[in-house]
Structure 1
Amino acid sequence: MTIKPELQEKIDLWLQYDKNPKTLKEIKDLAAAGNVEELDLLLSKQIKFGTAGLRADMRAGFSKMNDLTVLQASQGLAKYYATTKNLTVVIGHDHRYNSQSFAEMTAKAFLLNGYKVYYLNKTVGTFVHTPLVPFAINKYKAAVGVMITASHNPGKDNGYKVYHSNGCQIIPPVDADIAKSIHENLKPMDSIWDDIHGTEFFERNSIDEDEKFIDVFNEVTDCYTSKLMSALVKKDFKDMFKKEEEPQRKKTKTVPLFVYTPMHGVGKHIFDKIMGEIGLRDEVDYITAENQAYPDPAFPTAPFPNPEEKGALDVAIGLAKERGINLILSTDPDADRFSMAFKQKDGTFKQLTGDEIGYLFALYMHLTDEGDEPKGGMVTSTVSSGMLKRLCAIENRPFQEVLTGFKWIGNAAAKRALKGDNDGKIIFGYEEAIGYMFPALLFDKDGISAAVMFLQLYKYFNEDLESTLDEMFRKYGHFKQHNGYFVGTPKEQAKSFEIMRDYLKIQYVESKNKDKNFVCKFGDDFILKSFRDLTRAVQYSDEGEEVACDLPTGGGDMITFWFKTADNNNELKATLRGSGTEPKLKIYIECMSLVNNEVAETLSEALWESIKDLYIQPEVTGLHLRK
C-alpha cells in the first residue's frame, strides 16, 4: 500500500528524532512492510497531554509512551516551569516496564535545562508509591513533580503524571499551557541522547560542587513516615500495639488482624515501614498475600490490577478464609488508591464500594476531629455519594462539591489551607473511585495513609463495620448507588446527549416556562425536579427557574439530573458524562431513601432502566453494554 506524503513526513521525523534502537526498529520494520494502517495509528497523532499528564500503551510512535514522547513532554514541561525561576523538580517512578528508563530520560531533560533534580529512585530496584512525589514537592518547595506510573492500568501501559508546586495534580489552564510548551519543544535537545540510560551523565551531576542530581529516597520516606505518624496516627491506637519481645508476640497473637495485598505493586515497602512504627509486624500481626506481595510489572494474578474490579481481591479473601482473618486491606499498584473487604456476621466476605468506605472515613473524621472551632470541612466530587454533603449539613461542617477527578479535590483543600487559618479547612476528601485524601499529610489521594486510617477506624468502631454503616443510614439516610457505563464511539455518545437535551428542552424547560407548577414525569416512577448541563452552562432549580451553574462549566459532555418519587420519601441523582480517556458513556446513579436500603437499591436500579430507555436508547444510538 502506498504511503501518503503526510504520513511519510511523520515517518521521516520519527527516524530523525528517535535514537532508541528498539522503537526505531519498530517503525523501520513497519515502513519496510508498507503497513500503512499501523503506521498511521502510531504516528499521525501526538500523544495528548492533559490534567492526567500522559498515559498510553508502550510502543513506538508519537501517539504512544516511549523514550521520545517522554523526552518531548519533559522538554516542554521544563521550559514551561523555567518561567517561575524556581528550577527544582521531584521525579519518581514505579515498577512498570520502562518506568526506570522513562524517569531517567525525564531527569536528563530537566538537568540539561539547568534544574536541580530531587530523585526518588537513584538506587536501581528502588520503587516509590505515587503520593511520595507530591509529598516531596511540598518538602523541598519544588516547582513541579513527575511520577512515572500508569496506576492500575494493565501491564502494557505506562504514564507520566505531573504535579504542580502546591503538591496537587495540575488543573486548567495549566494543562493547556504545558501542552502548548510541549508542542513548541518537540525536537530533542542536542546531546539529549548521549550516554542513553548510562550512568556517567548522572554521576557527573551528582558529584560536582553544585550538586544537581540528588538521591532523596531515604530522606523523603523517613519524613513521610514521621509526618504520617504525627499527623494521622492517634496515641490510643499506637498504645494498642506496644512492642513486645518477638517470641512473646508470636506466642500470644495466634490470628493476625488483617491480610494486606499491594496487587503486585509498590506498596509493601512503605506499608511495612509504617506498620513497624505503629508496632505491627508482617507474618505476626498481619500477613501479606504472598503471590501479590512484591512488584511485578506483569501482574500475573491480576491482569487488570484495579482493586475495584470484580475478583481483584479473591486471592486475599482466600488467604483470609484459610487463616481465619476478618479484614482485608488493599492498595492499587502505585498505592495511591485503597480498597478493603471484611467478614460479615453471616460469614461471607463483602468488599465495600468506594462510597461506603468514604462514609466510614467521614464519620470517623467527624467523631475524632479534635480541632478548635470552626469545624473542619470535607470535599468530594460531584459523582460521589451525597452522604458526605448530608452528614456535613446535619453536623454543621463546611462542605464543598467539585468536578470529577482528584485534581479538583486536592486543589480545593490546598486553596483553603493557603488561607492560613481554620476557616473552612478541609480535613477529609474522597472520590467514589477509591481515592481518599487526608490533607494533614498531603493534598492528593494516598492508599497508604488511607489503609492506616482505616485500621484506626476499624478499631474505633470495635471491628463492627456492619452496625456502624446501619447506624449511619438510620441517621443520615439510606444511600445506594447504581453506577455503570455504555460503550460507544464519540459519535454514538453525542447522539445520546442530543436525545437528553431535546427531552429537557421539550419536556422540562418549555413546559416549566408555560407553567411553573408543571410536574415533569420521568418514566413510571420518577419526577424530574431539576438538572444541570455543565457543557452548555445551563442549570435549573427545583422551582423551575434558570440559575447560575454551581460548578465550573465547559469541558466534555456532562449532565446531572435530580429526581424524586411522588411520596417525597426518596431523592435521586443521576450524572451522565463522557469519559475523557475511554470510549464510555458513564452513568452515576444514587438514591437517598428515608425508608430503608432495599427501597434505595430498588429505585436506583429502576432509574437506570428508565435512563436507558429514555436517554441512552441503544437501538437508536448504537451504545451498548460491554459484552
Structure 2
Amino acid sequence: MYEPVSFGREEDTTQHNTIQQDRLGCWVVMAESVDLDRAIVQWLEWDKNPQTLAEVRRLNCDGDIDQLRECFGSRMRFGTAGMRSTMGPGFSRINDLTIIQTTQGLCRCLEKSFSDIKDRGVVIGFDARAHPPSGSSSKRFARLAATVLASQGIPIYLFSRITPTPLVPFTVSQLKLCAGIMVTASHNPKQDNGYKVYWSNGAQIISPHDKEIAKAIEENLEPWSESWNDKLVDNSSLIKDPYEDMKSKYLECLQKHCFNRDINKETKLKFVHTSVHGVGHEFVQAALASFNFTNLLAVPEQKDPDPEFPTVKYPNPEEGKDVLTLSFALADKEGATVILANDPDADRLAVAEKQERGEWKVFSGNELGALLGWWIFTCWKKQNKEPSSLKKTYMLSSTVSSKILQAIALKEGFHFEETLTGFKWMGNKAKELIDKGNTVLFAFEEAIGYMSTEFVLDKDGVSAAAIVAEMASYLATKNTNLTQQLKAIYEEYGYHLSKASYFICHKPEIISQIFQNLRNYNETNQYPKTCGSFAVSDIRDLTTGYDSSQPDKKAVLPTSSSSQMITFTFKNGCVATMRTSGTEPKVKYYTELCAPPGNSDFEKLKEELNDLVNALVEHFFQPDKNGLTSQPT
C-alpha cells in the first residue's frame, strides 16, 4: 500500500560519515546523507512517544547506521487506499508520529474537498493489533487520528471497540460521512499495521484522491499543537461512539439478504467458525444468528483477539489448510461439515467442506466466487420475475479472477464487468453503476474477497459467511452440498479451472528485471510468442498500456507505471497474469483454463493447465536463476 521514496542521494557515501554531538550529549556517527541526518533530527524534535523516541536515541548513541538507514532512509508513501508497514520508530514505519502526519494531510485534503466537513464528519475503526515494544496498537493509532481531526473541529465517529473492516465503509454510507479510516493490516504478519481510507461514496479511495492526500501529507509533516493531546478523545463533544447503532443497523440490512429462515433454523448441518485471533467472532456469530442459525461452533483457541496470532504461522486463511488445522480438528470432533474462516479484520472469507471419504476440501477464491455468484443470482431471480430487470443487473470481478461470472452472465442475460485488481476498483465501479440506477448483485476477487451486498461497497467476510451458510443449508435440503453444486455450475456454464500462487522476492530490482525481460524476450525487443510448447495469441501489459488484442494496441483498463502486470492469452484458451503485490514482497501469477459446457474430460483439462503453469514458471519466472522462493499452489 506504500511506495518508499528515497530521502537522500543514491550513491554510496559511507566514507563521508561525520562525528558530532546531538542535543542529548551522545557522541554519534551521524548518517552519511544530509537528508537522512535531517530526518533523524526532525524525529527527535517531533516524536512524543517514549518508546519510539528512546529507541531512536539508542540507535543514535550506538551509531547504528544500518538501523538508522532502515528507519529513516525512506518515507512511507500514501498509496493504494492508504498505507501499510511494520510498526516501529522512523518515517519508514507506522507509529504515532507517522499516523499523526498522515491524518493531518488527510484532514487538509478533506477540508478542501468538502465544505460541510464540520457538519458531516469522519468515522474511525480499528482492529486488535498491538506492538508493545513501540507502544503501538491499532486502538492507539485510531485515538491519535481522532485527536488530529477533532482538534480541527471535525466530528468523529470513533468506534469504542474493535470492529470488522466492513463496518467502516458501511458507516460512511449509512451516516453520509465525508470519509472513513480503518486502522488494520488485515492478514499481514503480526508486526505490521495499516491505515485504510474510504471516501464519501463508501468505497476505498482511488486517484486523484490518493495523490491529493499524499501531497497534503508532505505539506503537513510537523505535528500541530493539539495533535498529540489524545485526551481530546475522552473530553470532546465532537467524538461519538457509533458501535451499537451501526452493529444493529448492519445486522438489520443483512437480514434482508436472508431467504430461507425456516430452513436455516431446522438444518442438520453444523458449522465451525474461526476468526484467526481477529475481530470476526462476535459479528459472525450475530450474523448467523440473524439468519436463524443455532449451530455455529467457534474454534476456542482462536475466537478471542490476540495480536500475537499464536496458533498460526501466518494469520491468513487464504494460505489454506495450514491455517485451518484447529478448525478441522473441532469439526471432526463435533460432526460439523462446513468451516467458515475469516482473516483477522474479517473482510475476507475462506470455506472448507468435508468430503465423503472424510478429507477436507478448501475452496479456492475462484471456486467460492462461482458458488456465491450462482447462489445470489438464483435468489435474486426468484424475487425478480420481470426479464427486463436483467438489463440493469451487474456482477463484477477483478481481471486476475475467474471469468465464471462472465460465463453465467452470458447465459442468463445480466451484465458482467471486469476491473483492475483490488476492491478499490470494484467498489468504485459498483457505486458508479448503482448511482445510474443499476443493481450490483455481487463482486469478487480470487484472494477470497466477496462483496455480497450493496450496503458495503468493499469485501465483507461477515455477510459472506452468513450467505455461504444459508447456501449450504439450502443445498442440504436437496441432498447435495457445496462441492457437488460447484461441479453442477461448471457443467452448466463451462469448466473454469484456475491455479494461482506466488514467489517471494526481497529484491525489487530482480522483480523489475523479470518483467523487463518479458518485454524484451530473449533480447528481441518483443514480448514472447510462446511459453514452452504453448503459443501466445495476445498480450496485455497494464504497466505500459499495451494490448495486442485492441485495434489501436492500447489497453482499455487503466494502467499504472508504478506496478507490474502482464496478461498472456494462449491459443488453447488459457489466460495467465503475472503481477507484483502492492503490500508484500511477492510476484504473483494467476492462470485459468476455460472449457465450454459439455466438455467432461476434467482430468485432461487439469493436466493441460498444470503443464502450462510449469512452463510459465520455467520460462518466464526462472526461479533458480532469479533466486525466487516458491510457494505451494
Q: Does 1:94 align with 2:124?
A: no
Preserved CA contact (<8 Å) 1:493 1:623: no
- Counterparts of 1:47-62 in structure 2 under 5 Å? 47-62=76-91
| Native 8 Å contact 1:384 1:432 kept in 2 | yes
Of 366, 374, 397, the residue aligned with 2:389 is: 374
Equivalent of 2:542 in 517, 522, 534: 534
- Residue 75 of structure 2, aligned match among 46, 57, 70: 46
SS in 1 for 2:584: coil
CA distances 1:493-513 after superposition (whole Å, capped 9, x unpaired): 222222211239959789xxx
Residue 47 of structure 2 is aligned to residue 34 of structure 1:
no
Query: Residue 38 and residue 617 in structure 1: after superposition, are their counterparts in 2 closer, same or farther (change >3 A)?
Result: same
Q: Distance in 1 between matches of 2:588 and 2:398?
A: 15
CA contact (8 A) 1:538 1:546 kept: no
Superposition deviation, residue 341 in structure 1: 0.5
User: 1:608 and 2:613 equivalent?
Assistant: yes
Equivalent residue letter for 1:134: P
Offset of 1:484 from its aligned partner?
1.8
Q: Does 1:397 align with 2:414?
A: yes
**Pairing 1:116–2:116 present:** no
TM-superposed deviation, 1:354: 0.6
Distance in 1 between residues matched to 2:185 and 2:625, nearest whole Å: 35
TM-score (norm 1): 0.88
Query: CA 1:482 to 1:577, structure 2 compared with 1: closer, same or farther past 3 Å?
Result: same
Conservation of the 8 A alpha-carbon contact between 1:51 and 1:172: no
Distance 1:450 1:39 in 2: 44
Q: Which amino acid aligns with 1:57?
A: T
Q: How does 1:282-301 map to 2 (within 5 A)?
A: 285-301=295-311
The amino acid that maps onto 2:540 is R
**C-alpha distance in 2, partners of 1:309/1:169?**
25
Tell me the percent identity: 36
Match of 1:184 among 219, 227, 245: 219
Please state if 1:163 is matched with 2:163.
no
Q: Does residue 476 of structure 2 align to residue 450 of structure 1?
A: no
**Corresponding residue for 1:589?**
591
| Change beyond 3 A, Cα 1:277–1:615 | closer
Q: Is 1:305 aligned with 2:305? A: no
> What's the counterpart of residue 249 of structure 1?
none
Aligned residue identity for 2:489:
M
Q: Which residue of 2 aligns with 1:72?
A: 101
Which one of 506, 510, 530 corresponds to residue 492 of structure 1? 510
- What is aligned with 1:270? 283
- State the match for 1:523 in structure 2: 532
Looking at structure 1, the residues matched to 224 and 370 of structure 2 have their Cα atoms a distance apart, in angstroms, of 50
Q: Give the Cα–Cα distance (whole angstroms) in 2 for the partners of residues 480 and 467 of structure 1.
A: 15
Question: Which segment is superposed worse, 586-595 or 88-97?
Answer: 586-595
Q: Secondary structure at the match of 2:150?
A: helix
CA distance in 2, matches of 1:624, 1:278: 44
Q: C-alpha offsets along residues 184-208 of structure 1, whole Å, 9 cap, x if unaligned?
A: 10000013223xx44xx234313xx
Q: 1:107 aligns with which of 117, 141, 146?
A: 146
CA contact (8 A) 2:83 2:195 kept: yes
Corresponding pairs, count: 578
1:240 aligns with 2:258: no
371, 387, 392: which one pairs with 1:360? 371
Tell me the residue number matched to 1:412.
429
Instruction: Determine if contact 1:495/1:621 at 8 Å carries over to the other structure.
Output: no
Per the TM alignment, residue 547 of structure 1 is displaced from its structure 2 partner at its CA by 3.5
Q: Which residue of 2 aligns with 1:250?
A: none
**Helix, strand or coil: the match of 2:283?**
helix
SS at structure 1 position matched to 2:236: helix
2:520 pairs with 1:465: no
Secondary structure, counterpart of 1:374 in structure 2: helix
Query: For residues 90-143 of structure 1, what are the alpha-carbon distances to aligned partners after superposition, in whole Å with 9 as ceiling and x for unaligned?
Result: 01111111111000000000001110001112xxxx211111110000111110
Partner of 2:208 in structure 1?
Answer: 173
Shift of 1:546: 4.7
Q: Determine helix, strand or coil for the equivalent of 1:299.
A: coil
Equivalent residue number for residue 85 of structure 1: 115
Question: Match for residue 11 of structure 2?
Answer: none
Q: Residue type matched to 1:286 in 2? A: L
Q: Per the alignment, do residues 298 and 527 of structure 1 end up closer, same or farther by CA in structure 2, a change over 3 Å counting? A: same
Stretch moving more, 456-465 or 135-144: 456-465
The alpha-carbon deviation at position 279 of structure 1 amounts to 2.8
The residue aligned with 2:558 is 552
Give 1:205's match in structure 2, choosing from 236, 256, 262.
236
> Deviations along 1:375-400, whole A, 9 cap, x unmatched?
22100000001212111112221000
Is the 1:266–1:335 contact (alpha carbons within 8 Å) kept by the matching residues of 2? yes
Rounded Cα–Cα distance in structure 1 between residues aligned with 2:470 and 2:522: 47
Residue in structure 2 matching 1:617, options 599, 612, 622: 622
Shift of 1:622: 4.3
Partner SS for 1:308: helix
**Cα distance in structure 1, aligned partners of 2:258 and 2:116:** 34
Question: Which AA in structure 1 matches 2:422?
Answer: G
Whole-angstrom CA distance in 2 between matches of 1:63 and 1:190: 23
CA contact (8 A) 1:529 1:564 kept: yes
3-state SS in 2 of match to 1:492: helix
Q: What does residue 169 of structure 2 align with? A: 134
TM-score (norm 2): 0.87
Q: 1:327 to 1:532 in 2, by over 3 A?
A: same
Comparing 285-294 with 388-397, which one deviates more in the overlay? 388-397
Q: CA deviation at 1:616?
A: 2.2
1:430 aligns with 2:441: no
Deviations 1:65-96, CA, capped at 9 Å, x for gaps: 11000000011001100111132100111111
Unaligned runs of 5+ in 1: 207-211, 244-252, 511-519, 566-570
What is the identity, as a one-letter code, of the residue corresponding to 2:115? K
Deviations 1:509-540 (A, max 9, x none): 89xxxxxxxxx55422x221111111221111
Q: 1:472 to 1:613 in 2, by over 3 A?
A: same
Look up the equivalent residue of 2:584 and give its one-letter code: E
2:520 paired residue number? 502
> Given residue 168 of structure 1, which amino acid in structure 2 is its aligned partner?
A
Q: CA 1:135–1:99 in structure 2 vs 1: closer, same or farther (change >3 Å)?
A: same
- The Cα shift of 1:221 comes to 0.6
Answer with 484-493 or 71-80: which moved more: 484-493
Q: Which runs of 5+ in 2 are unaligned?
A: 1-16, 18-28, 131-136
Correspondence for 1:574: 576
Q: What is residue 270 of structure 2 aligned with on the other side?
A: 257
Letter of the 1:401 counterpart: E
